[in-house]
Amino acid sequence: MKCIKCGKENKKSAKYCASCGASLLTVSGKRQKNIKRRIILTVSILVFIAAVSGVILLVYGILQENRHKDNAQAAVTEFLARYKACDPAASELLAGTGDIEMSYEGISSSFADGLSYEIISCRKDSDDLYIVEIQATTIDFEKLFTVSAEETVKNYGEDNVTDYLLGVMEQKITDDTCETKTIPAQVSVLKMDEEYKIQMDGSLANALSGGMNDYLESLTGGE
């Protein structure tokens, strides 16, 4: 240990300078303070790095999750656009349909053609399931069915309702006098590897058919 007063080198364990007798304790104290400062600085840097890494991982996770939500919404938008265009390829976006193509025969094409929709929100339900909330507007099935049934009975009699009802409904749609109805729906979107597939469940089918599921269920008492 070097004496700061005379420059004499002393033993590390010495408390006083062997040459001039000056105290060597102040030198040791300063070194200890420097060591403590270095330790504190090192720990502070490590803590800062850990905090920054945590923030980066958090932000990355949020960005990834937002990307999945955007993709889920995009899948729903693409499906609805294909459905509205009566495109059989809309089935490619449905889960579990395989090579089956969607059919738009009869009045189904009118419900599809008259469809308008709005994407409201998207949330993650589980690891690979996202729920996209939509508002779908199309022909009001209940009012169409009710008016058509009344007209069928009036023109053809109750015994012939089965034979003529569908034709009357098609005529009502052609006349473009049908009222519309806006129905909320929760669309389930499955993330399958890097693909996003839509589940055609009761909620979505009901919205696309102008509330047909709800109306038929009310007629049967929910059975």
Residue 201 maps to a domain: yes
Q: Is the pLDDT of residue 102 over 80?
A: no
Residue 218 has pLDDT above 90, yes or no: no
Task: Classify residue 107: in a domain, yes or no.
Answer: yes
- Is the model's pLDDT at 215 over the cut of 50? yes
On whether residue 49 sits in a domain, the answer given is no
pLDDT tens digits for range 48-79? 666 656 655 555 555 567 888 999 999 999 99
pLDDT at 89 over 80: yes
Q: Which of 10-19, 45-54, 119-128 has the lowest mean pLDDT?
A: 45-54
The pLDDT of residue 132:
95
Mean pLDDT in residue range 96-125: 84
Reported pTM: 0.70
User: At 198, which CATH number?
Assistant: 3.10.450.100
Domain containing residue 84: 57-140+179-219
Tell which residue, 61, 39, 43, has the closest CA to residue 51.
Answer: 43
- Classify residue 105: in a domain, yes or no: yes
Through-space distance between the first and last CA atoms of the chain, rounded to whole angstroms: 95
Q: Are 132 and 186 in contact (CB under 8 A)?
A: yes
Report the domain count for the chain. Answer: 1
pLDDT (tens digit per residue) in 130-163:
999 999 999 999 999 999 999 999 999 888 888 9
Is residue 166 a part of any domain in this protein? no
Residue 58 structure tokens: 């958090």
Nearest to 186 by CA among 201, 170, 169: 201
Query: Which runs of consecutive H residues, i.e. helices, occur in 86-174?
Result: 108-113, 141-156, 161-174
- Mean pLDDT for the stretch of residues 189-213: 91
Phi, psi dihedrals of residue 165, rounded to the nearest 5° = -60, -50
99 inside domain: yes
